Structure 1
Amino acid sequence: MRTFNVYLAILATGVLTFSGVLIETAMNVTFPTLIAQFNISTVQVQWVTTIYLLMISIIVPLSSYLTKNYSMKNLFTSAIILFILGVSINCIPINFSLLLMGRVFQGIATGIALPLMFSIILTKVPLKNRGMMIGVGTLTTSIAPALGPTYGGLLTSTLGWSYIYIFLLPVLAIAAIIGLYAIPEEPVEKTEKLNLPATLALAVMFSSLLLSFNYFEQPIFWLILVIGIGSVLIFYECNKKNPLLDLSVFQNQPFRSCLFGFLVFQAMLLGVSFIIPNFMQIVFKTSASQAGGMMFPGALVGAVFAPISGKILDRLGAKKPILLGLILSLTGWSLLSLLLASGTIYLIIGCHVLFMIGLGLAYSNLMTVGLSAISVEKQSDGNAVFSTLQQFIGAVSTAFAALILNLSQKSASNPAAGTVIGGKLTLLCLLALLILSFVIIFIRLVVLPAKAVD
């Protein structure tokens, strides 16, 4: 049997995941263009990102079932085929419905590839190198969203937004070649049956809760919200006998604390990638390439700190990099909330860079500490919980920001004035969550440090 080439396998799945997360936010900077081209509203256009994240949120909980019942090679092959199909559809900008269809295929593919990458890291990489490799892995989910607006803005301003997808095709072809070579076929004995009722309940739950943002001002909002809450209860009951997600990991307090901090960072990462490009284009009339380019310095800094932070954790422990990261993030985001409306590009970039330094130090380390707090037997389930909620919170953050902007634009005298109010309000809401996260993590790491693994 051919040998499993761990690092090439991580590279292939990492490129696939990076590509998926890159176009997650690359489309954010195209929203003003899409609104004009397809004659749609701000709330409607955010579904370009939301439907993609929704698909990931639905597929990722199946990761534990998929990895236990299908070989890594089969999963990688399925992901790359679906991704190329979705990207190919979006290479031809016919109408908004086809654009969303392509995003559905891309979301399913990324939903398979993302947990597969972390599964390879957790099962194939030696323990002594795991912190650094998780840092490299989370590089794809922490840096790609920040690089996306730069990539999308440059292409939208020069060639057109469809080239966001056209330029990905050769990259995906290379990833396919590397992955098919590095990941050999390994025998897998199918031991579990898919919990279909729990899967359907989860899909309805996520879909309903996200749809509620779309219909916030309409009477049907309450019906959708009731369906969403009801599906939560149905999922909880259906999940008991044959767990789709092992919810027992939530009994571990360090896991809960780190998960909360991790999700707050994810919400801020997606939120700022939505707010800044749209804010600069609508309020200060910058081009898509200029607005997207403002995200690049922070993305570059985050790219440097993501793997380094894992190495720091391996050598010095969790407390120093995570707490320092939270402090820097708080400082950068607070300044950004105050200075965004000034429109001073260099100040906004500086605030974003400071925030991304903090995120780079804390983000992946929160995941590492959270997963390390649970037993080895439950780590695949913990990984599924992290990945599922990471994508869902990203969708919620984008939908929330779009809703606040849309409501503010409707109530203000003009779209620019409404965007200023909505942008600042969204930043302040996320700042409140970051402050709460700091308090929780500080208590967990400093006041009540936990050493035991549940």
Structure 2
Amino acid sequence: MNKDTISPKVYASIIATGLMSFCGVLVETAMNVAFPTLMRDFHVSTNVVQWMTSIALLAVSIIVPISAALKSTYKTKSLFLVSNFLFLIGLLIDATALNFWILLFGRVIQGIGTGIALPLMFNIILEQVPKHKIGMMMGFGNMITGIAPALGLTFGGVVLHSLGWRSIFWLLIPIVLISLGLGTWGIQQGSTLRKVTIDKLSFVAIAVFFTSMIFGFSNLGTGSFLTVLLPIIIAILFAWLLIWRSTRIEEPILKLSLFKQKDFSGHVLGFFLIQIFNLGNGFLLPNFIQQVNGNDALIAGLIILPAGIAGAVMSPLGGKLLDIYGARKPILIGTSMMLVETAIFSLFTAQMSNTFIMLIYIIYMAGMGMAIGDVMTDTLSVIDIKESAQGNAILNTTQQFAGAVGTSITSAIVTISQKQYSSLASGTRIGTQHAYILLFILAIIIVATFIRFAGKNQK
């Protein structure tokens, strides 16, 4: 794109696709609050009800890797319309579900819709936004989706207490319809189409890898060899099959040969660790506020909300800083703020009042908001522009995998500590401290990674 300005239709298309991703994350977080109610209404256990989140994550994880092939073969607007209609159908199924298994089916449909929509926003930005404004618009796109986790807890708590869990799905329908209207008007084709055949063996390998990995990690801390290690071993075997297959066909689903580029591999590693860090952090604090400080989910959501707003505000600012100064400074500042948060929480876990949590978490989310969009932009800058769709698919796939790993590892650490103490509050406090020590070590590795790799292809 040669123009220096961003057209209203491009803005509309970015907002439309961003709202789809926003709704996907919002419903996931909001439904976490409703787990106890769903267990009572449908007479299911904790291990069963958690599949409300896991099965949607699984659907997204399987669909996202084929996004580059879908983008090459089908028009962007067609993909958007399919994802939008699937998400709407999933919402309607869940809002009217008569039993838990229908509810799970609706979540699968929503996950497929989210998986198609998730890469579209970043592909549109990379193709249709002037190069010197890509950083700002990546930040703007991350702002739309970044506030969803913080809003989800508050939204879920308020709706659950006043209207009931079915209203979580009903109230999202107008947002999806607004997205549909904006996308129908604004989305334009930014690249030439060419048919790409999706390799069936690779797709099966991806599906088995994510199914096994998510099943195994979801049982960390509570499962046995058969429910934890065996699925992870199976996942590793199918990951090897995917790598083997990808090196022997002309059009792999994921172009893993990109990892031969050291700068790209370093960026993806840093991005992967940030996502583990983020999802782990997002599990620990609401859990701590409820189980240690004795508050309900609504209060937990309200305490975390200011940090979500800070992260959303900092996302476009971080992108603007990238456009002006390059990626290195905002990435290192943002990741350093993440490091500060974990250092404080790991040292002062016993003194974590709600006010203390709110203030320190604002520091973290501001840093996260500043860094994450710039990390994605900087990662894609080190590969050829023709490979941006493949790079985007790898980043989004990495994000889904990290989501399963981050929440599972931190929840397992807390669960193990809870079993060692007679008091749930004491076990949760000690477990949270141990988890934050792990995240602190992770944050050191993240900062060191980006000291090495950030900003190499930026001014």
Per the normalisation by structure 1, the TM-score is: 0.92
* 2:16 alignment counterpart: 12
Say whether the 8 Å CA contact 2:137–2:319 is kept in structure 1: yes
Say whether the 8 Å CA contact 2:62–2:207 is kept in structure 1: yes
User: Structure 1 vs Structure 2: percent identity of aligned residues?
Assistant: 39
Q: CA deviation at 1:150?
A: 2.0
Take 1:165 and 1:178, find their aligned partners in 2: how far apart are those partners?
21
Mean alpha-carbon deviation: is it higher for 92-101 or for 346-355? 92-101
SS in 1 for 2:34: helix
* 2:356 alignment counterpart: 347
Matches within 5 A, 1:15-414: 15-38=19-42, 40=44, 42-92=46-96, 94-183=98-187, 189-216=193-220, 217-220=223-226, 221-240=228-247, 241=249, 242-414=251-423
Say whether the 8 Å CA contact 1:20–1:107 is kept in structure 2: yes
Q: Which amino acid aligns with 1:29?
A: V
Q: CA deviation at 1:284?
A: 2.7
Q: CA deviation at 1:251?
A: 1.9
Distance 1:452 1:4, change over 3 A: closer
Say whether the 8 Å CA contact 1:28–1:278 is kept in structure 2: no
SS in 2 for 1:219: coil
Cα-to-partner distance string for 1:212-250 (whole Å, 9 max, x where unaligned): 124443231333222111111111122221311011221
Distance 1:336 1:27, change over 3 A: farther
Take 1:218 and 1:114, find their aligned partners in 2: how far apart are those partners?
34
Q: Does 2:447 correspond to 1:441?
A: no
Cα-to-partner distance string for 1:341-360 (whole Å, 9 max, x where unaligned): 43511100011001011112
Take 1:187 and 1:318, find their aligned partners in 2: how far apart are those partners?
26
Say whether the 8 Å CA contact 1:326–1:359 is kept in structure 2: yes
Say whether the 8 Å CA contact 2:338–2:364 is kept in structure 1: yes
Q: CA deviation at 1:89?
A: 2.2
Number of matched pairs: 448
Any gaps of 5 or more consecutive residues in structure 1?
Answer: none
Cα-to-partner distance string for 1:402-426 (whole Å, 9 max, x where unaligned): 3333333334314333322333333
Mean alpha-carbon deviation: is it higher for 407-416 or for 74-83? 407-416
Say whether the 8 Å CA contact 1:153–1:293 is kept in structure 2: no
Say whether the 8 Å CA contact 1:134–1:364 is kept in structure 2: yes
Any gaps of 5 or more consecutive residues in structure 2?
Answer: 1-6
Cα-to-partner distance string for 1:265-316 (whole Å, 9 max, x where unaligned): 2223222222222222223331221011111010011111000100011001
Q: CA deviation at 1:40?
A: 4.9
Q: Does 2:456 correspond to 1:450?
A: yes
Cα-to-partner distance string for 1:388-446 (whole Å, 9 max, x where unaligned): 1112211222233333333333343143333223333333222221111111211334x
Distance 1:244 1:174, change over 3 A: same
Distance 1:297 1:215, change over 3 A: closer
- Correspondence for 1:432 among 424, 435, 441: 441
Q: CA deviation at 1:164?
A: 1.9
Take 2:84 and 2:345, find their aligned partners in 1: how far apart are those partners?
38
Distance 1:288 1:200, change over 3 A: same
Mean alpha-carbon deviation: is it higher for 325-334 or for 197-206? 325-334
Distance 1:223 1:267, change over 3 A: closer
Q: Which amino acid aligns with 2:205?
A: A
Say whether the 8 Å CA contact 2:206–2:238 is kept in structure 1: yes
Say whether the 8 Å CA contact 2:19–2:145 is kept in structure 1: no
Say whether the 8 Å CA contact 2:68–2:389 is kept in structure 1: yes
Take 1:148 and 1:340, find their aligned partners in 2: how far apart are those partners?
25
Take 1:271 and 1:438, find their aligned partners in 2: how far apart are those partners?
17
Q: Which amino acid aligns with 1:394?
A: G
Take 2:424 and 2:37, find their aligned partners in 1: how far apart are those partners?
15
SS in 1 for 2:253: coil
Q: CA deviation at 1:34?
A: 4.0
Say whether the 8 Å CA contact 1:145–1:270 is kept in structure 2: no
Distance 1:71 1:6, change over 3 A: same
Q: Which amino acid aligns with 2:241?
A: I
SS in 2 for 1:172: helix
